[in-house]
A = this chain, B = another copy of it.
Amino acid sequence: MEDKIVKEYQIKKIIDNKIQNENDRIIKEQPLTVFVNGYELVTLMTLPLNLKELAVGFIASENIIDDYDEINSINFSHQDTIVQIEISKDVDINLYKKRTLTSGCGKGVTFTNLQDCALDEVYNDNFKINSSVINQLMSEMQKKSDLFLKTGGTHTAALADQNSIISVMEDIGRHNTIDKLIGYSYQNKINLKNKMIITSGRVSSEIIIKVLKQKIPILISRSAPTSQAVEIAREKNITLVGFTRGNRYNIYNDLNRIII
């Protein structure tokens, strides 16, 4: 496993202008081209780990499947750089490639895709978490970020319930870590409506739209959101937390889901 995702290189480490020769562990990346029913959908650059979860999560995020049972087969080839997914319904791939621009919908949020604009709000008034778990789970996730700890080159995201982490995914891309968690949840029939996602990465609109599409009520980040992400959270009822570091965090949208 190790040699598939991490490679050692001889490098020079310079500290105070002094040279040390060292072996350094560096994360690998590879392209993964996703075909659905024979149509080429996308090429993702990714860490070669949890590729099945990535492929399933990506087509779930694109609304191509609503349920894991719609998948008939998943076949990897060409040293895992191509995945062919067969699904049981007809799919017009061009629809998913088309991004329609809109200058705003609802209360004025700009979506890049009209379909996203029409997405339902997230409702789950029973899912609440204690304030104390926010910093605690962020720190737990970071301890479980094996590849980040070894290489410093990955983003990490975790799926959690009120109290504990269910799965941790790492990738070279922020988006891929979220898709891997969604794919994992589809495979394992996990109900996402009473879970939360914790991420090391910044929260742009593309990230929060993935969360919105799965109706995940809480998103917790170590980093900053964009203003568009804050507005989508407020319009669609997603609890959004950022800058979760040490003993502090920021609440951009609350909805009484956090008990302080």
Q: Residues of A at under 8 Å CB distance from B?
A: 6-7, 9, 11-17, 19, 24, 26-31, 33, 43, 45, 78-79, 81-82, 99, 101, 103, 110, 112, 131-132, 134, 151-153, 172, 202, 204-206, 223-228, 230, 243, 247-252, 254, 260
Contact = CB atoms under 8 A, between A and B. Distances in A.
A160 to B, nearest CB: 18
Contacts of A153: 202, 223-226
Given A30-B228, A206-B45, A250 B103 contact: no
Contacts of A24: 250, 252
B15 A247 contact: yes
Contacts of A226: 26-29, 153, 172
Contact of A13 (B16, B151, B204, B250): B250
A31 B116 CA distance: 14
A81 B99 contact: no
A7 B227 contact: yes
7 smallest beta-carbon distances between A and B, as pairs: A153-B224, A12-B251, A7-B227, A29-B226, A31-B112, A15-B248, A26-B227
A9 B230 contact: yes
A33 B98 CA distance: 12
